[in-house]
Chains A and B, each alone.
Chain A
Amino acid sequence: MNKLTKASLFLLGFIVLGLILNYFLNSYIHAILISFMINAVMALSLNFITGLADQFSLGHAGLMAVGAYTSAIISKELLSDQWYFIPLTVVAAGFASAVLGFLVSLPSFKLKGDYLAIVTLGMAEIVRVLILNWNHVGGPRGYNAIVKFPGFLWSYSFGLLVLTITFVTFFRLKKSWFGRNLWALNEDDIAAEVMGLDLVKAKRSAFIISSFFAGVGGGVYAHHLGYISPGSFSFLISVQILIMAVLGGLGSMSGSILAAFILTILPELLRSLPTGTVDIRMIVYPVILICMMIVRPQGLLGRLELIEYFRMKKWIKS
């Protein structure tokens, strides 16, 4: 079965799935599904820089915010709310975040240490404060009436397209020479340098690519919810994305998708618990995080991809 046939079959499968979901489930579940896709894109983006390149980023909410606001502004101001331009605005969102990522990467990789964590933390905070004070986009009240896709099938298809592109990109990069460079950098950066690997360039590239997709995620988010505010991009969001990446396994792309799925569904199940006004997720998530770090820090799949994981299990059993 060659590649084209495989791809076509997958495509067919997802179209059929989409049709089924559209007719048999309600809009509440539709929304959750799109949410899952957005979360998966964000988790993949973070996993690439934090899991593969081993550079801790705490500011992905900030990158997401830049993407969301960029695409929203373009939709509203430049393209007069036409929904068929949404993909364009999402791509623009990616580029905007990539530029921010580039700027952030300039001071962050000069020295060894957790500088990226600190700088991204600061970046996200600065972005949030700037948006909060920018009345043109609503300031603290948020940016409203952003155009959405005219129906579940459209947003489902678009979301799926974005998720697939994101996943395939990261998956193939991981397999390629770039992924090997990142692994070498992780294993022993001094040895890697001595073989001609430009560490700073590699880390920067990884971060810029990661930022691009974080922006894309933000763009999709803006057009899914139709409303964005600085509050939607707080540090806690960065942490939630981190939890997904960690749960799936830092370094495993398919793991991030799995974890995004689990952690998008889980809160819906927890909704029924009585905790007053406090979001119970904020208790469950940290507990998961802490326990995992102590008991199973590699998360579900570690660095392996789903397919490698099954192969390994088969090999161990034999």
Chain B
Amino acid sequence: MENIISVKDLSIQFGGLKAVDQVSFAIQKNEIFGLIGPNGAGKTTVFNILSGFYQADSGEIIFADKNINDLKPHAVNELGIARTFQNIRLFKGLSVIENVIVALQQREKHTWFDSLLETEKFYRTEKLLYEHSIELLKIFELDRFKDHFANSLPYGAQRKLEIVRALATKPSLLMLDEPAAGMNHSEKAELNDLIRFVKDKFHLTILIIEHDMKVVMNICNRIAVLHRGKKIAEGIPAHIKSSPEVIEAYLGKRQT
């Protein structure tokens, strides 16, 4: 099984704080890989480095046989990595379908010429964009909300929309940052199904940060655990669940 992305000795420091310290892991194609750890462990920082918002101080990231260390976020996305955010970054002033269209249109080739003269090609492209967006929304049963403002949607639907938007950019690796945050029990179960469905239908690899153990243990093929910037464990869910280092990181040292 080949690796879709491999991270080697990734480190970044903010002022005096080593937020990520020599972290290494590799994700195989089509697996669901979990990144967990107590608050402040550096998980979102790793995401930010992978997606191009931060430049790592040292280490390397190889994605699809390319070194992507110095790429800017939009270039990272063009290569095939999409991500969502912990605190949902939808385009609040835009409608649901407009949110998807903006994502979709990044992959389409438009020219200035056609837009200015409003040629046949312009109308065709606009129509296609619209139709593709509806199709995508239909898959997730969000099409009936298409003209609503994005932030008028119920919370769970907003999270779904963010994922739809990420998928519109045709990634091969999808990074989800705490997708279960704020969800109730049934919503979480739905989320598990959704993630599996998305992975299969769109042939994706998924990297997920999550705090909710039920979600993580349920859907992840493998998990890496971060604590204070360092990776302290990696393996299959059963292994992680019983690892003493992991338990200690979350609960503290056992007092005997």
* Direct A–B contact present (CB less than 8 angstroms): yes
How far, in Å, is A110 (CB) from chain B's closest CB? 11
Cβ–Cβ < 8 Å partners of A187 in chain B: 91-94
Asked whether any CB of chain B lies closer than 8 Å to the CB of A296, the reply is no
Contact between B89 and A191, CB atoms less than 8 A apart: yes
Binds A, one of B55-63, B103-111, B248-256: B103-111
Residue among B107, B115, B168 with max Cβ neighbours from chain A (10 Å): B115
Partner of B89, one of A176, A183, A188, A196: A188
Given A187-B91, A191-B91, A181 and B102 touching (CB < 8 A)? yes
A190-B53, A195-B102, A196-B107 known; A184+B94 contact, CB < 8 A: yes
Q: What residues on A are CB-neighbors of B72 within 8 Å?
A: 193, 198
Among B74, B98, B118, the most chain A Cβ lie within 10 Å of the Cβ of B74
Whole-angstrom CA separation of A198 from B106 in the bound complex: 9
Are A188 and B116 in contact (CB-based, < 8 A)? no
- Nearest A residue (CB) for B51: A194
Contact between B74 and A177 (Cβ–Cβ < 8 Å)? no
Once the chains are docked, how many angstroms separate the CA of A173 from the CA of B118?
10
Are B89 and A190 touching (Cβ within 8 A)?
yes
Q: Check A141 for interface membership: any CB of B closer than 8 A.
A: no
Instruction: State whether A198 and B74 are in contact (beta carbons under 8 Å apart), knowing that A177-B110, A187-B92, A191-B91 are contacts in the complex.
Output: yes
CB distance from A195 to the nearest CB of B (A): 5
* Distance A198 CA – B105 CA, assembled complex (angstroms): 13
Task: Answer yes or no: B77 CB below 8 A from chain A CBs.
Answer: yes
Contact partner of B91 (CB less than 8 A), chosen from A177, A188, A196, A199, is A188
Q: Are B106 and A197 in contact (CB under 8 A)?
A: yes
- Say whether, besides A180-B98, A180-B102, A190-B53, A173 and B89 are in contact (CB < 8 Å): no
Q: Is B14 an interface residue (CB 8 A)?
A: no
Within the assembled complex, what's the spacing in Å between the Cα atoms of A188 and B94? Answer: 11
Say if the beta carbon of B82 comes within 8 Å of chain A: yes
A311 interfacial contact with B, CB 8 Å: no
Chain B residues with CB below 8 A from A184, complex form: 91, 94, 102
**With a CB–CB cut-off of 8 A, which chain A residues contact B103?**
195-196
Residues of B within 8 A of A193 (CB): 52-53, 72-74, 77
Q: Report if A27 contacts B (CB, 8 A).
A: no
Q: Can you give 27 A-B contacts (C-beta < 8 A)?
A: A172-B118, A173-B116, A176-B116, A177-B108, A177-B110, A178-B112, A180-B98, A180-B101, A181-B102, A184-B91, A187-B92, A187-B93, A187-B94, A191-B89, A193-B52, A193-B53, A193-B72, A193-B74, A194-B83, A195-B74, A195-B165, A195-B166, A195-B169, A196-B74, A196-B169, A197-B106, A198-B75
A residues near B (Cβ < 8 Å) are: 168-169, 172-173, 175-178, 180-181, 183-184, 187-188, 190-199
Interface on B for A, CB 8 Å cutoff? 51-53, 72-75, 77-78, 82-83, 85, 89-94, 98, 101-103, 105-108, 110, 112, 115-116, 118, 122, 165-166, 168-169
Closest 9 CB pairs of A and B: A176-B115, A196-B106, A191-B89, A193-B73, A196-B77, A187-B91, A195-B103, A177-B110, A184-B102
